[in-house]
Amino acid sequence: MIDEVRMDLPAKRLFFALDCPPLQRKAIAQWRGELGLRTGKPVPADNFHLTLLFLGAVPLAQINEVCEAAGKVRTPAETLRIALDRLQVWHRAGILSLAPERAPPALLRLVYALEQAMLPFGFEASAREFRPHLTLARDYRAAEPESATPAEFFLRAERFALFESHKGRYRILQEWPLN
């Protein structure tokens, strides 16, 4: 029902995520380049992030309220440090990604708190389990590539952000500190 209402209103395609710092984007893009991928569409390094919660189409009139609710979310008291140490392929979705071997409990609590904060707006928590990842390529249709050097990246996040997705580019609309 909410999706039907949203289709009639001007909206933005939004999601909450942890941004990837510029130097880390560059390092990950360089490492990805060394994989010699022959399939898939590489995600532009400027778009590297770790999605926390995808909202989809949010009516323009509701964005301020969403931001207010996000600002009240109880966040971890410390900087999040997420190991991106596993290269994986999601065959059904056609995604090549970097992911943590184990998601930090503080990250899982943040995602849950965001899900709860968005319930009053009709954004229901996904039925699928949250799987933190950084997408390296889309439309990827091959086995996991061999890497000469293991994936050993650490996403260090001091804030989370509300992003807008528009024509394949991502833009931060607002950010909130984690501590």
Round to whole Å and give the CA distance between 174 and 155. Answer: 19
Q: Which two tokens stand for residue 164?
A: 């807008």
User: Per residue in 12-50, pLDDT tens?
Assistant: 999 999 999 999 999 999 999 999 999 999 999 999 999
Which positions are annotated as active-site residues?
49, 133
Round to whole Å and give the CA distance between 101 and 95. Answer: 17
CATH of domain 2-177: 3.90.1140.10
The number of helices, as runs of H, and strands, as runs of E, in the chain is: 4, 10
User: Per residue in 123-178, pLDDT tens?
Assistant: 876 667 899 999 999 999 999 999 889 999 999 999 999 999 998 899 999 999 99
User: Per residue in 60-89, pLDDT tens?
Assistant: 999 999 999 999 998 888 789 999 999 999
**pTM across the whole model:** 0.90
Which one, of 18, 17, 16, 7, lies nearest residue 57 by Cα? 7
Secondary structure class of 92 (helix, strand, coil) = coil
Does the structure show a pLDDT above 90 at 3?
A: no
Round to whole Å and give the CA distance between 75 and 110. Answer: 6
Q: Give the C-alpha distances (Å, rounded to integers) separating 111 from 42, 51, 177.
A: 26, 9, 15
